Amino acid sequence: MDIGVQGKTVLITGSSGDIGRATAKLYAQEGARIIVTYHSNEEGARQTARIVNEFGAQAHIVHLDVGSESSVQGVMDEISEEGGVDILINNAMTRGWTSFPFEEASLDQWTQTLAIGLTGSFLMVRACLPHMRQQRWGRIVNISSEIALYGMNKSSHYAAAKSGLHGFTRSIAKELGPYGILSNVVAPWLVMTDRLKHTLPEQAKETAARVNPLGGAPEAEDVARTILFVGSGWNTYVNGEIIAVDGGAHALPG
Which residues are known to be catalytic?
A: 158
Angstrom CA distances, 182 to 13, 82, 109, 172, 237, stand at 18, 23, 32, 9, 8
Q: State residue 172 phi and psi, 5-degree precision.
A: -70, -25
The one-letter amino acid code at 176 reads L
The single-letter DSSP state of residue 190 is S
Taking phi over 0 as left and psi of -120 to 50 as alpha, with beta for the rest, 14 belongs to left
Taking phi over 0 as left and psi of -120 to 50 as alpha, with beta for the rest, 162 belongs to alpha
